[in-house]
Structure formats: C-alpha cells, structure tokens
Structure 1
C-alpha cells in the first residue's frame, strides 16, 4: 500500500511538472492597461524606478546607445519629475505573448515626442517590457479619439505559408514565439536607429510601426 501510494504521488508530481505552458488570449486592452499602469508607477515612484520594476531581465533601451536596461537603470537617479506618456495603439501576437505599443510622451519642460515599447509575458502571465525607445518631435503626433488594438492572425497564407517557427527552447524557458508579430531594432554606425514592428496578416507581414531616429549631432 505504501509503495502504491508513493507511485501515485510520483505520478501526480510528473503530471504537474509536465503541464503545458499557460495560454493567454491576445488581448490588446491588457497591453494598454500595462502602459497606463507603467506611467502611473513612474509618477508615483519615480521614472527610472518604474522602468526597472517593469523590465524583463534581458530588456534593452537606447540612451542613445543600446544598453541592457537593468544594468543601466540601477546606476540612475530618478529625475525630480517624470516624463508622462500615454499609448495610442497596441499590437498583439496571435498567441497573446508578445505585443508592441506606441504613443506620445511629454516632459516636464514641455518637450514632446513618441515612444514604442515591446512587451512580453513572463511565466506568470504578467507583461514586462523588453525594448523601449522613442524620440523627440517638434510637434506632438495627433492623439486618437479612441485607443485601439490589433491582433495578428493565426491563419496560414493562401499557399499554406506561415510565419517561420522558432526552434524549441529547452529547460523551463518560455515557449518559442509564434512569430506572428516580429520586431527589429537596427543601430547605424552613426548612432541612428530604426525600430520596425511587423504583423502577420495571413498572407504577408504588414509593417505597423516604422520608427527612424537620426543620430545625435
């Protein structure tokens, strides 16, 4: 009896360990909510504190050179007043695990600009940012009347083509991305950069964000 009970317990433990990863609905409103909470945290706790608390361990940012965010942030003191920002639109991958948001920011001195943030769900399903960048503008972008969100399609193309699958990662790493939402951040030798986000439509990739930042003179 004792041996059988031991086997049952081992079997139950194996089932728990083998349970599939959490699945999430591709919900743009949850990304908008994460951005709003991110901004609120910056106003309450300090700008760089908020960035550090919401960043993934592998997150990157540009200052203007590309840096590992958490390593850079731990050396920074919060400014007296934080920049304020608000999202305009969010794009989410088919599997609901990756997202991109973009919108406007305003500094305490009145300067305006835009931002783009790439978000990824952690093992508990919380959104963490993995790339953040932006640039100053002479005039703020028009603010939409309503916040909007779009979800990448899961459908294959007319010829059966689909986004290329990533190789499966081992261990307790998160499942590979479905690649219905992909992004790149290319830095030029002169310090300029281009951040691009593309979304799978079922037949091709549509460019939904294409930010170009000139090198600082």
Structure 2
C-alpha cells in the first residue's frame, strides 16, 4: 500500500511539472504573438478607427521583413490588398519575411537576422517523372556579435514549398533552417532536398 502511495505521489509531481511547463510555454507563446502584433499596431488602430489607409501608410511595414507577412495578411483581411506594394508582391519577398519571422522564434535564433540575402529559387521534382514541381526559396543570413550565432557567419535557410498556381503569400509549410554554415560546403540544392525530405515530407 505504501509503495502505491509513493508511486501516486511521484505521478502527481510529474503531472504538476508537465502542467507547469505547458502553461508556461503557452504564456510565452501568447507574449511572443502579442509582441509581433504590436509591430503593426499602428495600422490596426487606423483601420479599427475607420481611417482610410494609403500606400504611404503601408510601405514602411511592407518593406520590413519583420512585418511584411503580417501587413499583407492584415490588408487581405480588410480587402485592401491593392495597397500592398507590387514590387514586394513576389514569392521571394514573401519567403524572406516568413523565414525571418521563423528565425525569431525563441527555439531558433530568438532574433531577426542582421543580414539576409536571397540566393536562388530551387525546384523539386515531386513525382520523379518531371511532371510536377514545387519551389523553395533559399537564403543566407548571419548575425552580428554579441549574438551567440555570430561566429557561424553566413548560414542557410529555406522557405517552401510553393505550389504551381499558388499565390506569393501562401503559407510555406516547410520554412526551416538547420543553421548550417555556408562555408561547410552544403549547397543550396542540398539544403532544399534535406528540408523537403525531413521537414515537409514529415509534416
């Protein structure tokens, strides 16, 4: 009987710890999302107050990769997509913003890249017969000191896949980076194949 009580006590402690971790992570995620939304709070406030936006209001938010995707989504929801700059309405520009936002997650870089460059668009033959392709956008990025990843210099990141007939700002489900250093000799093509096989195929 004593052993059973001990086991039950241990299980109760474990359940309590798991519950604590779950709710702490939930709170952290809410805080993270709130922080992101604050970056476009000015646009949201203007729309909610009935003030008419113009392209000059939108441009600073669309130009910044940190707020580009959220800005497009906001305009889309308010039927104001026509205010989004046409030169930023591209797959590569959308992918840049998706990857930058993904890298900001605390489990990744916990920050936006200090520098980010688009390397290429890479196609993957998904049926093995050259009949159906998807695309990935490949970037390199790096951090400056004192960030812990600064000594890695340029690293590779991928956003995709993008499907035929899709729109530039469709959500890319396999946005990912292994924080692989470019100097390690991993090519953009190899990184895309790895992400497609290990991230997208398992999603």
TM-score by length of 1: 0.23
TM-score by length of 2: 0.24
Would you tell me which structure has more strand in proportion to its own residues?
1
The higher-RCO structure (CA 8 Å, 6+ apart) is 1
Would you tell me which structure has more helix in proportion to its own residues?
2
